Amino acid sequence: MKSRALLFVILTFAFCSAAEAQTTRLPPRNAPPPSRASVITEKVFFSASLLFQVNSNDFDDSSTFRRNAENGRLDTAYAVGGGTAFDVSGSYLVWKQLAVGVGLTLFSTSTTTEINAQVPHPFFFNQPRTVTGEFDGDRSETAVHIQARWLIPVSPKMLVTVFGGPSFFSVEQDVVSDFEFSESYPFDMATFTRAIANSQSESAVGVIELREIAADISTALVSQLITPRLQQAITALAEADGIVAAAPVYKASPSGLFSSFFHVLDNDLLIGKPVVLAATAGTARHALVADDQMRPMFAYLRTMTAPTSLFAAPEDWSDPALNIRIDRAAVELVLLMESGFAGQIKDESWQSYQHEFGSAGGTETAIDLDTDMMRLATGGSAS
């Protein structure tokens, strides 16, 4: 290709030189004016177009979850069809027929997700219930194109453009991360109610409103039954890199709902997790509740509480000192999160802690059978 292009240029120049020499010797009469088709006078070019994407981008996903002390399975099939895309670009002439520019392509469509889950039975092992359902989500694609354009004028009002260059794509897809279902005694069947989806991102901040799961917390306290909504909150805590635990003060102590929620959690769920403690009250006389009552509970759960705790009475909300304390606590939380301390604990010294079967969100399933208690329980004798 390179040799052919060079030969074409040489022949073109040779032809132009011969024509010029002939014109000098024999000037033609009534010669037409030179064509302006080969002259590009504009500097800026803009184009917009409407496209249609015909190909599909279907894909499948699967994951496991822990429920009723047993692993369940969630399979999802995403149907991503074609749709209309919008493209816009602009370029600037930098040299003769060479222009450089940038283009942007936007595409969005709706997706249908088929959900098929195997949910463990609350009473019997290896008897999962099948839960099926659908979820309608969204998908968007953004592409940025860096272009070099070669402009070929074919008439005073028409240009043919040949362009190329790198493109950078970004795709955002609603992904099913969890689901909710309903069940009733004898729990042999479960019915799909809704899917829980989120658009994947680098970071996220979530809020658990305990008043919305108050009944679920009470049920867990008296029966040890973890409902799907409560399990969602527990999973969010287990997956969080850091926690801000805030509670109102009632009767000189954190609210009963707040304490009950953490009483429901198993002791291994939050080992090494960075936590900032915060409390609000109607009077400054409760300023020590966070350190005097909340901090011992989180120490029992073996979390890493930040040195700075937060408290706000009505007069504190307009005090600039509160913002200073919030900033200080935030910096401490970020530093603890970036240290990766919780992950290092699990990697290096997890087995040095005493665990209960099914703790750590249901992931701790190892049983040490070589103990006096286990030998006596199985009819043997102590060593």
Residue 270, in any domain of the structure: yes
Residues 167 and 173: beta-carbon distance below 8 Å:
no
Residue 26, in any domain of the structure: no
Neighbour count for residue 97 (Cβ, 10 Å): 15
Which 3 state secondary structure label does DSSP give 134?
strand
Residue 17, in any domain of the structure: no
Nearest CA to 127 out of 185, 191, 68 is that of: 68
CA separation for the pair 266, 355 (Å, rounded): 10
227 and 173 inside one domain: no
248 and 159 inside one domain: no
Main-chain phi, psi angles of 209, to 5 degrees? -90, 105
Largest CA distance in the chain: 124
Main-chain phi, psi angles of 356, to 5 degrees? -105, 150
Residue 4, in any domain of the structure: no
130 and 226 inside one domain: no
183 and 230 inside one domain: no
Q: Which of 203, 222, 246 is the last residue of a domain?
A: 203
Q: DSSP assignment, residue 357?
A: T
Residue 362, in any domain of the structure: no
247 and 186 inside one domain: no
55 and 168 inside one domain: yes
Nearest CA to 310 out of 258, 246, 254 is that of: 246
Residue 231, in any domain of the structure: yes
45 and 184 inside one domain: yes
Residues 243 and 262: beta-carbon distance below 8 Å:
no
Per-residue confidence of the chain (383 residues) as pLDDT tens digits?
333 332 222 222 323 333 333 344 555 555 555 554 556 778 888 888 888 877 778 888 888 888 877 889 999 999 888 888 899 998 898 888 888 999 999 988 888 899 999 999 988 888 999 999 999 988 888 989 898 888 888 877 787 888 788 888 888 888 888 898 998 888 899 999 999 887 544 445 678 888 889 999 999 999 888 888 898 888 888 888 899 999 999 888 899 999 999 998 888 888 889 999 999 999 999 999 999 999 999 999 989 999 999 999 999 988 889 999 999 999 999 999 888 888 787 777 666 666 565 555 555 555 565 677 767 776 777 66
Total tally of structural domains belonging to the chain: 2
Residues 367 and 357: beta-carbon distance below 8 Å:
yes
In terms of Cβ atoms closer than 10 Å to its own Cβ (0-12, 13-18, 19+), residue 209 is: exposed
Alpha helix positions (H), 179-308: 214-223, 228-239, 256-264, 289, 295-300
155 and 295 inside one domain: no
Which helix (H) or strand (E) segment holds residue 84: the answer is: strand 83-95
57 and 196 inside one domain: yes
Could you tell me the residue range of the domain that residue 235 belongs to?
Answer: 205-340
Q: Which of 203, 219, 246 is the last residue of a domain?
A: 203
190 and 209 inside one domain: no
Q: DSSP assignment, residue 6?
A: H
241 and 105 inside one domain: no
The Cα-based distances of 19 to 5, 13, 15, 25 in angstroms read 21, 10, 6, 10
Q: Which of 137, 170, 203 is the last residue of a domain?
A: 203
Residue 39, in any domain of the structure: yes
Residue 13, in any domain of the structure: no
CATH at 211: 3.40.50.360
119 and 254 inside one domain: no
pLDDT at 199: 57
Neighbour count for residue 126 (Cβ, 10 Å): 7
